[in-house]
Structure 1
Amino acid sequence: MLRSALTVGSWTMASRILGFARDMLIASRLGAGPVADAFFVALKLPNLFRRLFGEGAFNAAFVPAFAGTLAAEGRASARALAERMGALMTLWLGVLVVIGIVFMPQVMRGLAPGFSDDPAKFALAVELTRITFPYLLFICLTALVGGVLNGLDRFAAAAAAPVFFNLISMATLLWLTPYVATPGHALAWGVTASGVVQLALVLWATAQAGMALNILRPPAITPEVRQVLRRMVPGVIGAGVVQLNLAVDIIIASLLPAGAISFLYYADRVAQLPLGVIGAAVGTALLPLLSRQLRSGQPLSAHRSMNRAVEMSLLLTLPAAVGLAVAAGPIIAALFQRGAFSAAEASASAAALIAYAVGLPAFVLVKVFAPGFFARGDTATPVKLGLMAVALNLALNLMLMGPLRHVGVALSTSLAAWANAGMLAWLLARRGHFIADRRCRRAVPRIAATAAVMGLAVVAVAFALPAAGSSVARAMTAAVLIATGGAVYFGGGVWLGAFDPREVLRMLRRRPASTPVAAKQP
């Protein structure tokens, strides 16, 4: 599992680094003004539907079914299942895209009501969202084909696909801007173009893996497809509520002073680096592994896999959360404070980043605990627990948006994530599906202590450094703080016994499990 997680994490890290380069470029060209707010809403809407239909609930239902079919019935049956699901997804998402483009003004009045006070900003948001909305179809199909690759233990191509999102976005912002109305238009066209490229990449990868897919075949509702849909429905309902909650965040932010949406976006982008690299990597690798272990009657192996996933997640996430919280100002300033993005805007984004950092370990633990249900075919329980977390999030948003403005939106999200992770862990433990073993109980407190020592060291160094005036000086300050945190955490972790570097190296050298014989049949 560690090798698979590192494959996903390495490509995700490359994507995040390029994403920072893209966001730095956007910040310098657009700042946190009305064009930036309009574009971020235009990007958020297809992403909301992508998470609803293309990831989360769909993958939780599809990946175990595909992996199980592959192991039990062979490649031909697994390919047929994937093609039927792809044809069905193409049909319903194609219809959704057309409806969304036609009725986008009405959608925008519900999603960003605060924009209605500025007709030009509202019209721009509608136009940009119409350009980006087809991205939904392409990226959801990319998620489906990526699920096929994950079921085949081929993680690299699906993890590498987002790299092209960032490359194409930067290219269009630089080269297309002179030929369109605003830089936001150039970015919007880049979003849709990147969806086409990402889909082409994963389709090519499946062909290279010996499972070329024809996702344009006529849809057919077979018993296997019905089973996936039945398992998917509770997750879609739950994901729909979660996405509605994210939409509420946008609604609230649109009612706050101008720039609130942009502040939250830039802070979230920084927080998403460890979340994407660690959470997505561990969750992506853990789900098919647990599915195979449980399908093969190996509950003890599944139990060990869950414990190691929790360890690995906290080993990497706790220091990231502490580091982002204590060095939020220098990090945001080094990344974005230039051009149209001022020091005041950097300070506002840094405050939101601190609030997001509070919930970072919880966001990752949710991705670790949820596969414990999904791999057992239980998509309903995480939905019920998610509904409770959503209700808490909504209540906290309403309570905190007044006194804390955009920071209250971010803090509400973090607190609700902790509630969600806690409920998932409690119910898994109650059912006997997750009990922290001796190694986990020993490692986690030591990891937390090491992260705390690291945080104190970073704060001390930050106070000792002189104020940074230029972009180069800000970058150097951030680099020194990050290097200090990394060195203290590694040295302290070895000294306190939080982890053993030799054991990590041994895990990296292990060969992944061989493909089941049934899966090798043509």
Structure 2
Amino acid sequence: MAKKLVRSGVIVSAMTLISRVLGLVRDVVIANLMGAGNGADVFFLANKIPNFLRRLFAEGAFAQAFVPVLSEYQQQKPDQVKSLLAAVGGSLGMLVSLVTAIGVIGSPVVIAIFANGWFIEYWNGGPQGAKYELASLMLKITFPYLWFITFTALSGAILNTLGRFAVSAFTPVFLNVAIIAAALWISPQLQQPEIGLAIGVFLGGLIQFLFQIPFLAKAGLLVKPKVNFAHPGVQKIRKLMIPALFGVSVSQINLLFDTVIASFLMAGSISWLYYSDRLLEFPLGLFGIAIATVILPALSKDHASQDPATFKKTMDWGVRMVCLLGMPAMAGLILLAQPMLMVLFMRGAFSLEDSAMASYSLMAYGSGLLSFMLVKVLAPGYYARQDTKTPVRFGIIAMVSNMVFNVIFAIPFGYVGLAIATSLSALLNASLLYFGLHRQGVYAMSKANLVFLAKLALATAAMIAVVISLNPSIAQWAEMALSERVFTLFGIIGVAAVSYLFGLLLLGVRRNQLKAQ
């Protein structure tokens, strides 16, 4: 089990790294093309809405309800697996097709809800009213992405339960390639280049959908969809998914709520939040989501096999790994926020001022990175046991708290206050999830683990001292040529990584402590 988890984690992280690097390249291209102006604000909103729904219908609530049920069928009813997949594919397909049609036809209403500030400007004939009209058009192009990515996620979840993690982890590469290609070859031909990016989102979803079909066929699980809401497996998934929708959507609703508030703030607020969130997503996806992807099928099988001891060991491994990687990543994001933004985005329409403004929200988001990662690992402890109600309750508490935090921090700190509120709500959510597992007797931090985390904290503190001593001033960063910035940044990151690893070795951390015991 230990070797399999580590190997699977490495595979998913490697594939995710390729995707995230291309994602950063995509954002560099977008920043160069549009900077943080009105066009960028509109594109990021039109892209965010279907992605929000994707987390609900695809990778989020659906996966967390579907994977445990599929694992149960594979363990206990292998002869009924194909009928389950046919019923799930048909029923989910009918539902998502209806939602997609409503989204495309009703895009003006959807934009009015999520960018209320732009709609009010449009209604009153204000200068930002054009952003509402353009966003309504672009959403018609980006919304079908939801349909494609839902079936892509269904295929990926099936392959993950078979231990074939590489395919679904690599699939997002195609979305990034499509958007980059659209930015380079379609956008320059259009009067409004952001429309070209929306076309890239559409094409990326289509390519991802087509890519996974051969792998599903090779596994012998490509079945003809059949609408059957009465199928026992579909009913069980629906029962688990409905409350899970609320639990998974908490962070997404928080981000969209941030967007609604940001639409009332100064121009560029949505874009600054986007660019900082993209840098946050890099370590979160590379470590947190990758580890969560691996442990959910493992935990589901442990539960189906009625093996609570192995279940606890798998949870223990997940927490250790996200803390091992999340602590230094969190410190790095905070300390090197503006230099990283300058290296990645400061060219073309993206200015030094934009890098400074985005760095403030990145530091605020970065302070919550470890909490975001822990949520990704602790929540499967509930979903694998088919308990979706408890994380929902915690999620609602966190969501309401986020709204309160927004009111408290957005007034004095603007868009940065929104990022602060999001990080605080993630900390609350992670704390509730952990103490809930502890109360249920499912998982508790051992004394050995507490000592391990203390060693990680000390090694991270030493790394912070190294980064502070090596980090040039912002004025010095601004005077550097791009090649010098890149060399300096990677040099600092490299030395920081070595100092962190050296600190761990000095403190007695060894490789066997990173395995599922």
The TM tier, using the shorter chain, reads: over 0.9
Q: How does 1:38-49 map to 2 (within 5 A)?
A: 38-49=42-53
* Aligned counterpart in structure 2 of residue 254 of structure 1, from 251, 263, 275: 263
More off after superposition, 150-159 vs 234-243 = 234-243
Indicate whether 1:146 and 2:156 are aligned. Answer: yes
Deviations 1:340-399 (A, max 9, x none): 000000001111110011000000101111111111110010000000000110011111
Aligned mate of 2:420, from 393, 397, 411:
411
Q: Is the 8 A contact 2:52 2:252 kept in 1?
A: yes
Q: Give yes or no for contact 2:246–2:395 (8 Å, CA) kept in 1.
A: no
Letter matched to residue 121 of structure 1: K
CA distance in 2, matches of 1:219, 1:240: 26
Aligned: 1:380 with 2:389: yes
1:208 is the counterpart of 2:212: no
For the 8 Å contact 1:322–1:451, the answer to whether it is kept is yes
CA distance in 2 between counterparts of 1:211 and 1:239 reads 27
1:30 correspondence with 2:34: yes
Q: Shift of the alpha carbon at 1:476?
A: 2.1
SS of residue matched to 1:181: coil
RMSD of aligned C-alpha atoms? 1.7
Which amino acid in 2 is paired with 1:71? Q
TM superposition shift of 1:463: 4.1
1: CA distance, partners of 2:223 / 2:460: 46
Residue 495 of structure 2 is matched in structure 1 by 484
Q: For 2:59 and 2:179, how far apart are their aligned partners in 1?
A: 22
Matched, 1:15 2:19: yes
Q: 2 CA distance for matches of 1:190 and 1:450?
A: 43
Compute the displacement of 1:151 (Å): 1.1
- Which residue of the partner structure matches residue 192 of structure 1? 202
The CA deviation string for residues 216-265 of structure 1, in whole angstroms up to 9 with x for no partner, is x3445211110111111111234455543322111011111000000000
One-letter code aligned to 1:485 = A
Confirm or deny that 1:51 pairs with 2:60: no
Q: 2:444 aligns with which of 435, 450, 461?
A: 435
1:319 alignment partner, one of 303, 306, 328? 328
Map residues 55-454 of structure 1 onto 2, 5 A cutoff: 55-74=59-78, 76-116=79-119, 117=121, 118-215=128-225, 217-240=226-249, 242-454=251-463
Alpha-carbon distance in structure 1 between the residues aligned to 2:336 and 2:366: 11
1:439 is displaced (CA, Å) by 3.2
CA distance in 2, matches of 1:27, 1:494: 40
Q: 1:496 maps to what in 2?
A: 507
1:441 to partner: Cα distance: 2.1
Write out per-residue CA displacement over residues 426-473 of structure 1, whole angstroms, 9 at most, x where no aligned residue: 010111101123431221110111111101110110148981322222
Query: Which amino acid is the alignment partner of residue 86 of structure 2?
Result: E
Counterpart-to-counterpart distance in 2, 1:374 and 1:434: 14
> Which segment is superposed worse, 243-252 or 260-269?
243-252
* Letter aligned with residue 262 of structure 2: A
CA distance in 1, matches of 2:373, 2:6: 16
Structure 2 letter corresponding to 1:477:
T
* Residue identity matched to 1:34: N
Deviation per CA, 1:266-304, whole angstroms, max 9, x where unpaired? 001001011001111111111111111122121111111
- In the alignment, the residues of structure 2 paired with residue 361 and residue 503 of structure 1 have an alpha-carbon distance, to the nearest angstrom, of 20
Q: How far apart, in 1, do the equivalents of 2:426 and 2:80 lie?
A: 38
Does the 8 Å CA contact 1:279/1:368 hold for their aligned counterparts? yes
Could you tell me how far 1:195 is from its partner in structure 2?
Answer: 0.8
TM-score normalised by L of structure 2: 0.94
> For 1:187-230, what per-residue CA distance to the aligned partner results, in whole angstroms no more than 9, with x for missing partners?
10110111111111222211122322333x34452111101111
Distance change (3 Å), C-alpha of 1:4 and 1:19? same
Counterpart-to-counterpart distance in 1, 2:334 and 2:250 = 29
Q: Whole-Å Cα distance in 2 between the matches of residues 243 and 435 of structure 1?
A: 28
- Could you report, residue by residue, the CA deviation over 1:455-494 in whole angstroms, capped at 9, with x for unpaired residues? 1110110148981322222222211221121111111111
Superposed CA deviations along residues 49-82 of structure 1, whole A, max 9, x for unmatched, are 11121122111110010011011122x4222212
Distance 1:449 1:403 in 2: 34
Residues in 2 aligned to 1:276 and 1:320: alpha-carbon distance in whole angstroms: 12
How far apart, CA to CA, are the structure 2 residues paired with 1:502 and 1:285?
19
Which secondary structure does the structure 1 equivalent of 2:288 belong to? helix
Residue range with higher mean Cα deviation, 465-474 or 161-170: 465-474
Q: Which one-letter code corresponds to 2:288 in the other structure?
A: G
- 1:517 alignment partner in structure 2: none
Could you tell me whether the CA contact under 8 Å between 1:15 and 1:160 is conserved in 2? yes
Q: Output the amino acid matched with 2:176.
A: N
CA distance in 1, matches of 2:19, 2:228: 33
Deviation at 1:22, TM superposition (A): 0.6
Partners of 2:250 and 2:398 within 8 A in 1: no
TM-score normalized by the length of structure 1: 0.93
Residues 141, 198 of structure 2: 8 Å contact kept:
yes
CA distance in 2, matches of 1:180, 1:93: 31
| SS of the residue 1:258 aligns to | coil
Which residue number corresponds to residue 516 of structure 1? Answer: none
- Contact 1:242-1:387 within 8 A present in 2 as well: no
Letter of the 1:443 counterpart: F
- Which letter maps to 2:399? V
Range 77-86 or range 15-24, more displaced: 77-86
In structure 1, what is the Cα distance between the partners aligned to 2:268 and 2:167? Answer: 36
User: Cα gap change, 1:435/1:316 in structure 2, threshold over 3 Å: closer, same or farther?
Assistant: same
Following superposition, the deviation at residue 48 of structure 1 comes to 0.9
**Hey, what's the Cα distance between the residues in 1 that align with 2:112 and 2:209?**
31
- 393-402 or 79-88, larger mean C-alpha shift: 79-88
**1:382-428 Cα shifts (integer Å, max 9, x gaps):** 00000000011001111111211111111111010000000100010
Contact 2:26/2:179 (<8 A) preserved:
yes
Instruction: Provide the aligned length of Structure 1 versus Structure 2.
Output: 504
- 3-state SS, counterpart of residue 77 of structure 1: helix
Aligned-residue offset at 1:502: 6.6
- Structure 1 gap ranges (5+): 511-522
Distance 1:145 1:309, change over 3 A: same
Contact kept? 2:75, 2:304, Cα under 8 Å: no
